[in-house]
Structure 1
Amino acid sequence: MRYFDRTGLYVLPLFLGLLFFAASLTPTLIPRSWLVQGILGGLVMGVGYLIGRIGVSLWRLMELPEPTGRAVRIAQVILGLPVLPVLAGCLFRARDWQNSIRERMGLELVDSIYTVRIIALALAVFLTLVLLGYALHWLFDRFRTWLYRYLPERTANVAGFLLTVIVVVVVTRDGVLDRVIAGLDSSVTVAQNLFDTAPPRPEGVRPAGPGSLIDWDTLGQPGRNYVTTGPDAAAISAFTGRAAQDPIRVYVGRAQAETPQERADVALAELIRQGGFDREVLIVAMPTGTGWMDPGAVDTVEYMHNGDIATVAVQYSYFQSPLALILETRAGLDQAEALIGAVHSYWRDLPKDARPRLYIHGLSLGAWSSMHGTDLFALLDDPINGAVWAGPPFPSVTWQRVVASRNPGSPYITPELGEGQLVRFANHYTHAGGPEGWGNMRIVFLQYSSDPIVFFETLSLYRKPVWMAEPPGPDVSPFMRYIPVVTQFQLAVDMALANTAPDGHGHAYYGRDYVGPWVAVTDPANWTDADTARLMAHCDGGFDEGCVND
């Protein structure tokens, strides 16, 4: 392999990198633009090259014979001949693969994937990663050469490697990464406080209005939008044809108080002040990372209960959900425990015949945190009435346990548990089965078969996920295949793009798909299948934009 050293490039690892690039063109859950595909292709090409380089290093470490001269050239030909046809074939089919996803999601088909752009960008990303690798190797050489003066060679090599790792960690954690995070936090915080486009301070008994315990200045844009929008009594009455009430919405911003418990206490006090416990239905909802509350989830249930409903929520982060999940993992969990615990404790002490039915709700990171905060053991003596959790993130232990308990032969993407008396699943194509046949508690998971936030698996680096071994969902490409290592990176990119999917796919949950789960869980009085169809049409924009997601 000395031939490789003279060229400055390991040819056989490069072949592996090219195969990884070709494999990255295969479809997964979310459509990819040429820009995203180019970056992904360059990244996995670098990973394949790195794996090949590690293989060469291990070969040498074991002091195995190294081929030279003609043997090297023969190895290059034998291993390289299949690479170009595979690469050409994948580039040729890439457009059809992407269109197979777009067609199932109702998107316009593309005529070109801009192959030249993809290749150019992938090469640029790959070369950048190679240069970065050489820079790290140079730093390692400098460290170990210096340490040779004081330590035995093997010890110096280990110490030099550790010093290189420490430098990288310090630079990324306390340097570049910290500044990026701080910049994101600052920019989002500023966006939360943009008052030039904010609605006016609400009047009456609405949250943050006169007499409220909530400071209007602490709500941020998501909180202000939430408490000042949604259907009022007039809009609900116009839809139902019956007298209606103004729904109660209580929202506490993260800046309201320092600790999760203090914010939960303010939310509970405001909920009591507004008469939330006098309503027929009470929902404790956890927002997404930024504090956003999905109007499609809340508006729908307010319509079906004729406004006789109260919802309480508390913000716990300013970050987008993926960043909040990584950087503020405990923030949502701690806030959910505090809020759900405070509301449930107060509700539990009320007379059973004079208190609202209590439900839990969350979307995405809000689903994960609210599942965590719903301590089923604490609820055994006086359980809640149910929950609707949408887009539960894959790390959620509760969701994992439920899916693992599915009936034998039940699909992973739409599991069935027992007779469906406690837990049911719904998506864009399958509803929760209506309000009949339940036990004392009703839980519905709303999850789309193309949602990578739900179906990502960390072990997909080397093991095919269960759901990929089953027939694909209706909006999933039939050409999707599991490829070790590459699939992991594809699904990670899918997670970053999950919210760019059209409504009803990926992680873009929207109003009409909440209607069935809320009907099944809350069983609204005098509700019919015709009402469900009308409300779905309403959420599609048949009357106004009240139920359509931002």
Structure 2
Amino acid sequence: MTAVIDRPTANVDVAAVALPRVLTSVAVSSMVAVSLAPSLLPRSAVVQAILTGLLAALGWGFASAWHHRPRRQRAGDPAPSRESARLPVLLAGAVTVAATMLLADHWQDSLRVAMGVPTVGGGHWAQVVVGAAAIALILAAGTRAVAAGVRRLGAARSAAIVAALAVATQFWAGPALWQSRAQAYHAANATVDTSLRQPVSPSISGSPDSLTSWDSLGAQGRKFVSAGAASGAVRTYAGIDSAPDQDGRVRLAVRELERAGGLAKSTIVVAVPTGSGWIDGNAAQGLEQRFGDDVALVGCSTRAPRAG
């Protein structure tokens, strides 16, 4: 006689187990939304992908660290969330990220229109999604590998490796990155917009009477002064190549403002450019509409990386 014993079978929801935990979904989607917040300058697809990937990995790391706390620190935690909550929270996070991306697309396009550069399209955001996902996955895998390596090597050997990497970054990776950034900046600054015409009014920098040559103003400086050529206001600008150093550019900007008659205006506006030398043309135009010809705008490029 054979006895048959029925063993209880656990009902496991495979789909729920495969989904990320509630805290992970909340943390990652929140950090991705933060990475898409409005910026003062347009972001390229590469920059946005790096920022989003870094913050997404940071959110994942926070959730992972919270879930792997020592047991003694979990005594006061509330009861764990039900597996059925994972899918709704994941979908809510996806909707939040999608809505934030639409708002970011609108904001980035408005910035680009204001700066006179091409707007973004679907390809831009496709690159962002793919790049950010790759960066986040690489960082997550790297974090786990580092943690496993530290456990295997011990604290002393791990500290020695970190010190070696820090030295390599200081003397090789850092200078290489700075040099690459400097070359990219100077290439962009040297771009010549053939639609712009050199001013002839003595109240505008870059004119034949100006102390700052047309070529030395840079791409953004030429845009700034050209936009004011039709008005009677004073627009002066000192570009990165207008003087060898920052002090020289400041002194030149003051002398140029005085030469152009800016000190005789009742309103003088010091426009602080961004790192690329860009000055908000809409703001400058609004000031000229408000004060008419009785306003002077002066800009001076700040420090920029020097290509070796």
Structures share a fold, TM > 0.5?
yes
Q: Contact between 1:207 and 1:227, CA under 8 Å: does it hold in 2? A: yes
Q: CA RMSD in A?
A: 4.8
Tell me which residue corresponds to 1:273: 259
Determine which of 38, 41, 51 is the counterpart of 2:62: 51
Does 2:200 align with 1:203?
yes
Does 2:299 align with 1:302?
no
* Cα drift, residue 252 of structure 1: 0.6
Q: Contact between 1:267 and 1:314, CA under 8 Å: does it hold in 2? A: yes
Does 2:226 align with 1:228?
yes
List aligned pairs for 1:15-30, cutoff 5 A.
Answer: 15=21, 16-21=23-28, 23=30
Q: Contact between 1:38 and 1:121, CA under 8 Å: does it hold in 2? A: yes
Tell me which residue corresponds to 1:193: 190
CA distance in 1, matches of 2:217, 2:283: 20
CA distance in 1, matches of 2:128, 2:273: 37
Does 2:149 align with 1:130?
no
Tell me which residue corresponds to 2:87: 84
- Equivalent residue letter for 2:265: R
CA distance in 2, matches of 1:161, 1:214: 55
* Cα drift, residue 230 of structure 1: 2.2
Tell me which residue corresponds to 1:215: 213
* Cα drift, residue 298 of structure 1: 1.4
Structure 1 residues 215 and 119: alpha-carbon distance in aligned structure 2, compared to 1, 3 A threshold: closer
Deviations 1:315-373 (A, max 9, x none): 11458xxxxxxxxxxxxxxxxxxxxxxxxxxxxxxxxxxxxxxxxxxxxxxxxxxxxxx
* Cα drift, residue 169 of structure 1: 3.5
CA distance in 1, matches of 2:186, 2:144: 38
* Cα drift, residue 172 of structure 1: 4.8
- % identical equivalent positions: 25
Does 2:250 align with 1:264?
yes
Number of aligned pairs?
262
Deviations 1:242-276 (A, max 9, x none): xxxx2111101122223332212111112222222
CA distance in 2, matches of 1:53, 1:204: 63
The gaps in structure 1 that reach 5 residues or longer are 1-10, 65-74, 108-116, 145-156, 234-245, 320-550
CA distance in 2, matches of 1:279, 1:220: 26
Q: Contact between 1:219 and 1:251, CA under 8 Å: does it hold in 2? A: yes
CA distance in 1, matches of 2:174, 2:84: 42
Structure 1 residues 290 and 95: alpha-carbon distance in aligned structure 2, compared to 1, 3 A threshold: closer
Q: Contact between 2:25 and 2:89, CA under 8 Å: does it hold in 1? A: no
CA distance in 1, matches of 2:290, 2:264: 18
- Equivalent residue letter for 1:131: A
Does 2:279 align with 1:293?
yes
Tell me which residue corresponds to 2:124: none
Q: Contact between 2:253 and 2:298, CA under 8 Å: does it hold in 1? A: yes
Q: Contact between 2:199 and 2:229, CA under 8 Å: does it hold in 1? A: no
The gaps in structure 2 that reach 5 residues or longer are 1-16, 40-45, 110-126
Q: Contact between 1:230 and 1:295, CA under 8 Å: does it hold in 2? A: no
- Equivalent residue letter for 1:185: A
Deviations 1:218-241 (A, max 9, x none): 2101111112222524xxxxxxxx
Structure 1 residues 262 and 63: alpha-carbon distance in aligned structure 2, compared to 1, 3 A threshold: closer
Q: Contact between 2:265 and 2:296, CA under 8 Å: does it hold in 1? A: yes
CA distance in 1, matches of 2:275, 2:133: 35
Q: Contact between 1:18 and 1:45, CA under 8 Å: does it hold in 2? A: no
Question: Tell me, what secondary structure is at the counterpart of 2:70?
Answer: helix
Structure 1 residues 160 and 250: alpha-carbon distance in aligned structure 2, compared to 1, 3 A threshold: same
Structure 1 residues 53 and 86: alpha-carbon distance in aligned structure 2, compared to 1, 3 A threshold: closer
- Equivalent residue letter for 2:179: A
Q: Contact between 1:279 and 1:310, CA under 8 Å: does it hold in 2? A: yes
Q: Contact between 1:227 and 1:250, CA under 8 Å: does it hold in 2? A: yes
Structure 1 residues 223 and 29: alpha-carbon distance in aligned structure 2, compared to 1, 3 A threshold: closer
Q: Contact between 1:24 and 1:40, CA under 8 Å: does it hold in 2? A: no
Question: Tell me, what secondary structure is at the counterpart of 1:232?
Answer: coil
* Cα drift, residue 299 of structure 1: 1.7
List aligned pairs for 1:376-387, cutoff 5 A.
Answer: none
CA distance in 2, matches of 1:210, 1:25: 50
CA distance in 1, matches of 2:201, 2:48: 52
Question: Tell me, what secondary structure is at the counterpart of 1:313?
Answer: strand
